[in-house]
Amino acid sequence: MDTPQKTVTQIETPVSKLKVENSPVFNYINSLSPITTVKSISNAQTFSSLSFTSPPPVFTTPHVASHKGSRFRSHSNSSDPSNKVVEEALLEKEPPQILNNECLTTTPRVTNDGACEYGETDLQKMCDDNVKRKSDTPDWETLISDSSDMLIYGSPNDSEAFRCFLQRSSDSKTRLCDGGSKPALVAPVSQSNEPESSDALSILHRGVRRRCLDFEMPRNNNQTPRCVVPSIGLHLNAIAMSSKDNNNVSKEYSFTGNVKVGLQSSTTPVLPSDDIGRDNEIREAAGVEEAPLSLALVEVNQSSPKKKRRKSEQAGEGESSCKRCNCKKSKCLKLYCECFAAGVYCIEPCSCIDCFNKPIHEDTVLATRKQIESRNPLAFAPKVIRNSDSTIEVGEDASKTPASARHKRGCNCKKSNCLKKYCECYQSGVGCSINCRCEGCKNAFGRKDGSSFAGMDTEQDQENETSGKSGTTIPLPPSTPMPLRQPLAQLPISSNNMLPSQQSQQHLHGASLYNSQSFRKQDMGLMSHSRIETIAEERAEDIENFIHSPVTNINALSPNSKRVSLPHMDSTETTHWRRNGGRKLLLSSIPTFPSLTPHH
């Protein structure tokens, strides 16, 4: 089987290399100041999803992405033997440069002091490799198609963003190497005039921001409709919140989960662990509010949805008041622990006792995680599968919201009627689905029986009636069904311990779906509302079917759906899904990777 790795490791051709070197983008990159090596700081929150998010496929092979992304893995622990063991075991065929790349996925290399460094050579190589891969497929449309892997890992918007980017680049006669250096590549087209340092890292950040900016004004920027990607209002909102005091960031980020996802994938390389560590250090020294974007991102990933919720609801506003897990017996090494489940280390705000979920116990954490994953490959995958576009959800037709996302496994509520946060579906802001075994479902976001999506008003009324006893009004579904919910982010991030096939499964759940979202958004930008609805429904349906189809084999096996088999997607399917507008493109990317590897 021809694995992506092979492709990546292809010998670069002088021509392609030259091509890249001569490109404005490359020149731009070269003109940038080298990234300054930052001291690697062991950070408690090191395994932020950002850090482990699978590397952009473009730079790394799908397998790499699959394996590397342990959320638990810390950024800076490149030297950690345990990490190496795990990684090496998983990354047998990984090119050296990638293997050594603890920081993240791509080019940033780890220096002796643990810092990640982006070198021109690296960038160049990335481009070279990628160009090489695409050397015979000049048109960027093809590039996009071929870079499905990237799309997979990338945020739903990645494809969009990248497409946009390519388009722009194309306009400027610039030939880009696909993928990998996405962030860096984006920078040149950025509109931002931020005074940030010019180091590669900053550039990367800016690239992301830029993209965010683009997303941010989906309706305002008529000139670049294709780049318009309505936010889905999730993690990035959190990011924005986290960094609201950061002028540089707050003003640019006013969006969304979609972007968030994008950040994960795209920023993975952008956020070297070292940077994260630095950010954390900064946070510790100066407080969260001082935290730079990267920190904000870290925070987002670090905190499970629940945490976030608590932050905002319970604690109120200050991040300083954030409260995390409160485990007493699980040692924070079981899914009971929200931190652990979210793939983050426990930190100071946690009230846990005898906590092992700390960098210092990384080995234990990884081992435990691995064990849990062996039991349930998707244990750390996002619990909610979001398949629709936030635009729809938060748009005029809120009633569509529930249909757009579903709890992966479904709930099993017996007494809460899915009206309280005991219910994971409800808590996630999604409706119950056929996967749920709940009794007396009254989920305001959508009932299992299907009456769910009739409309929030109706639901609301019903809920109000039923909840009258408690006097509590059933909370309206959040504008963003999955407020600050982990899933999105984590999907792509999934543990790197996973087998390629497992990883692909996750992609199936997340990235691919998100990708579809992005395309949907894209399409929607040019369609009438009714048309959008139709398409949205259709696609949501498709996704649903896709998820439950024998092909994907994602159905839970046990009554409780606790164990999920891995999807089997062959390249044929991949191809099939590919090329037809967004939807196909999305799903197509899924198989690009690990699907190539044998299932088990």
Shortest Å distance, C-beta 467 to DNA: 9
Judged by CB, which is closer to DNA: 383, or 400?
Answer: 383
Judged by CB, which is closer to DNA: 280, or 435?
Answer: 435
The answer to whether 405 touches 385, Cβ cutoff 8 Å, is yes
Judged by CB, which is closer to DNA: 550, or 559?
Answer: 559
Judged by CB, which is closer to DNA: 146, or 373?
Answer: 373
Q: Does 414 contact DNA by CB under 7 A? A: yes
Judged by CB, which is closer to DNA: 219, or 328?
Answer: 328
Shortest Å distance, C-beta 237 to DNA: 18
With tokens 């799908």, the residue in question is 62
Give dist(CA 375, CA 480) in Å, integer.
31
**Piece of 93-101, 220-228, 270-278, 556-564 that binds DNA (CB under 7 A):** 556-564
Give dist(CA 131, CA 473) in Å, integer.
56
Q: Does 559 contact DNA by CB under 7 A? A: yes
Cβ count near 557 (within 10 Å):
11
Please provide the DSSP assignment of 31-97 as one string: HSPPPPP------TTTT-HHHHSPPPTTTS-HHHHHHHT-TTS-SSGGG-HHHHHHHHHH-TT--HH
Torsion sign over Cα 116, 290, 153, 52: positive
Binder among 416, 516, 522, 553 for DNA (CB under 7 A)? 416
**Piece of 50-58, 275-283, 538-546, 552-560 that binds DNA (CB under 7 A):** 552-560
C-alpha angle 176-595-572 in degrees, rounded to nearest 5? 85
Judged by CB, which is closer to DNA: 104, or 333?
Answer: 333
**Piece of 167-175, 266-274, 496-504, 551-559 that binds DNA (CB under 7 A):** 551-559
The one-letter code for the residue type at 151 is: L
3-class DSSP state for residue 30? helix
Residues 6+ apart with CB under 8 A from 391: 218, 230, 232, 521, 524, 532
Number of residues that bind DNA (CB under 7 A): 44
Surface-to-core class of residue 246, CB atoms within 10 Å of its CB (0-12 exposed, 13-18 middle, 19+ buried):
buried
**Piece of 41-49, 261-269, 405-413, 522-530 that binds DNA (CB under 7 A):** 405-413
Binder among 329, 396, 450, 461 for DNA (CB under 7 A)? 329
Binder among 93, 244, 334, 576 for DNA (CB under 7 A)? 334
Q: Does 310 contact DNA by CB under 7 A? A: yes
Q: Does 427 contact DNA by CB under 7 A? A: yes
**Piece of 64-72, 202-210, 292-300, 418-426 that binds DNA (CB under 7 A):** 418-426
Q: Does 497 contact DNA by CB under 7 A? A: no
With tokens 């699959």, the residue in question is 66
Shortest Å distance, C-beta 184 to DNA: 37
Half-sphere exposure at residue 381, Cβ-oriented, CA atoms within 13 angstroms: 30
The answer to whether 115 touches 38, Cβ cutoff 8 Å, is yes
**Piece of 135-143, 177-185, 305-313, 487-495 that binds DNA (CB under 7 A):** 305-313
Give dist(CA 7, CA 528) in Å, integer.
41
- Please choose, from the candidates 328, 73, 27, the residue with its C-alpha nearest in 3D space to the C-alpha of residue 184: 27
Judged by CB, which is closer to DNA: 185, or 339?
Answer: 339
Shortest Å distance, C-beta 372 to DNA: 5
Judged by CB, which is closer to DNA: 370, or 568?
Answer: 370
Q: Does 159 contact DNA by CB under 7 A? A: no
Q: Does 423 contact DNA by CB under 7 A? A: yes
Cβ count near 529 (within 10 Å):
13
Q: Does 599 contact DNA by CB under 7 A? A: no
> 25 to each of 103, 160, 192, 262, 475, how far by Cα in Å?
24, 19, 16, 21, 48
Q: What is the CA radius of gyration of the chain?
A: 22
Judged by CB, which is closer to DNA: 175, or 485?
Answer: 485
Interface residues for DNA in 365-404 (CB under 7 A)? 372, 375-376, 379, 383
Binder among 412, 435, 496, 518 for DNA (CB under 7 A)? 412
Binder among 411, 489, 566, 569 for DNA (CB under 7 A)? 411
Residues 6+ apart with CB under 8 A from 303: 238, 311, 322, 324, 342, 344, 484
Q: Does 409 contact DNA by CB under 7 A? A: yes
Q: Does 472 contact DNA by CB under 7 A? A: yes
Shortest Å distance, C-beta 143 to DNA: 39
The answer to whether 119 touches 33, Cβ cutoff 8 Å, is no
- Please choose, from the candidates 306, 450, 319, 310, the residue with its C-alpha nearest in 3D space to the C-alpha of residue 384: 306
Shortest Å distance, C-beta 463 to DNA: 13
**Piece of 34-42, 384-392, 456-464, 558-566 that binds DNA (CB under 7 A):** 558-566
Binder among 44, 240, 413, 535 for DNA (CB under 7 A)? 413
Q: Does 557 contact DNA by CB under 7 A? A: yes
Q: Does 39 contact DNA by CB under 7 A? A: no
H or E stretch including 185?
helix 182-189
Binding positions for DNA, rule: CB under 7 A: 306, 309-310, 325-332, 334-338, 341, 352, 372, 375-376, 379, 383, 409, 411-418, 420-424, 427, 470, 472, 557-559, 562
